[in-house]
């Protein structure tokens, strides 16, 4: 699969702080010409599918959920990311197929080896990111950082600690065992205070850009 140096993927469990990081990155003058995306969403189709995915009353099998995420992603790549890359712009992705590997393929379906799954993004023409930032955090701590009110709960917020433990285990296995993740990943200790998490992120990105882009 082709590695795309202009693609930077931010990954981690819910509550790991990567969305806060992305919001700060988007305000940095040095990234002013770059594109920032959040999954699922970012297109008309993607936002509609996001609403369906978040709706607790919509039953879905693990594969139906997987293909819904992939459909939203496919539109985002076609409509937003590939045109940006073609114009020589970088794209920062708040989640990518790496999330589907951790949440659906790993945590829900119980697979360890990503090889079979990776046929899907490959045939769909999705490039592999040049840098993956891994916001690693104990899922019990991540849980305390998420909104607790019952009213705020959507389909994804309703999942229990043991599910998030499996998500974190999947990320760890993927990033420490399998290529090309092992080569492109940079681990960020997400248990640190927000400013330290952000500072480590900037160091990782600048190091990467010095050598790759
Ligand atoms: P969101 O509110 O955007 O959470 P976050 O800020 O943590 O990204 O909700 C996205 C949820 O969807 C989140 O729980 C992760 C989950 N998800 C998957 O299960 N599979 C995927 O492929 C993607 C992109 C997200």
Give the C-alpha separation, 69 to 49, whole Å: 8
Q: Which atom of ligand 1 is nearest to the CA of 19?
A: 6
Which atom of ligand 1 is found nearest the CA of 72?
24
Instruction: Measure CA of the first residue to CA of the last residue in the chain; give whole Å.
Output: 19
d(CA 38, CA 44): 13
Q: What is the pLDDT of residue 81?
A: 98
Centre of ligand 1 to C-alpha 104, Å, is 11
In CATH terms, the fold of domain 3-211 is Rossmann fold (3.40.50)
51-55 long-range contacts (CB < 8 A, ≥24 apart) are 53/155, 53/156, 54/154, 54/155, 54/156, 55/154, 55/155
pLDDT digits (tens, 9 = 90+) for 173-184: 999 999 999 999
Going by alpha carbons, the residue nearest to atom 15 of ligand 1 is 14
Question: Taking CB atoms and a 6 Å cutoff, what residues make up the pocket around ligand 1?
Answer: 14, 19, 39-40, 69, 95, 99-100, 103-104, 156
pLDDT at position 150 is 60
What is the pLDDT at residue 151? 59
- Contacts with 173 (C-beta within 8 Å, 6 or more apart), sequence order: 106, 112
Residues 3, 180: contact at Cβ < 8 Å?
Answer: yes
H-helix or E-strand containing 197? helix 194-212
Task: List, for the chain, all residue ranges whose pLDDT scores fall below the cut of 70.
Answer: 149-152, 213
Q: What's residue 158's pLDDT? A: 83
d(CA 32, CA 26): 7
> Distance from the CA of 213 to the center of ligand 1, in angstroms?
28
The protein residue with its alpha carbon nearest to ligand 1, atom 14, reads: 156
3 state DSSP class of 25: helix
Which among 99, 129, 146, 167 is the best mutation to test ligand 1's pocket, defined by most ligand atoms within 8 Å of the CB? 99
For residue 104, the surrounding DSSP H or E stretch is none
Contact predicate 131/201, CB 8 Å = no
CB proximity list for 40: less than 8 A, separation 6 or greater: 46, 49, 50, 53, 68, 69, 72, 73, 95
pLDDT in tens, 125-159: 999 999 999 999 999 998 888 777 665 688 988 88
Q: Best substitution site from 95, 104, 106 to test ligand 1's pocket, by max atoms within 8 Å of Cβ?
A: 95
pLDDT of residue 146: 79
């Amino acid at each position: 699969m082709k590695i795309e140096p202009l693609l930077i993927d931010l990954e981690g469990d819910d509550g790991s702080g990567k969305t806060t990081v992305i919001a700060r990155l988007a305000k940095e003058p040095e990234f002013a010409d770059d594109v920032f995306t959040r999954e699922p969403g970012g297109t008309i189709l993607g936002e509609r599918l996001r609403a369906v995915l978040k709706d607790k009353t919509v039953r879905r099998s693990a594969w139906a959920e997987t293909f819904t995420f992939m459909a939203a992603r496919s539109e985002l790549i076609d409509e937003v990311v590939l045109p940006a890359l073609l114009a020589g712009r970088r794209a920062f992705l708040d989640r990518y197929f790496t999330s589907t590997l951790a949440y659906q393929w790993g945590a829900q379906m119980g697979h360890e080896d990503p090889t079979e799954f990776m046929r899907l993004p490959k045939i769909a023409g999705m490039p592999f990111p040049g840098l993956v930032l891994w916001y690693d955090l104990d899922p019990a701590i991540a849980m305390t950082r998420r909104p607790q009110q019952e009213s705020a709960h959507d389909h994804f917020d309703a999942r229990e600690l043991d599910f998030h433990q499996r998500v974190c285990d999947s990320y760890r296995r993927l990033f420490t065992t399998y290529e090309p993740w092992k080569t492109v990943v940079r681990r960020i200790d997400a248990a640190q205070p927000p400013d330290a998490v952000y500072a480590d992120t900037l160091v990782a990105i600048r190091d990467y850009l010095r050598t790759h882009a």
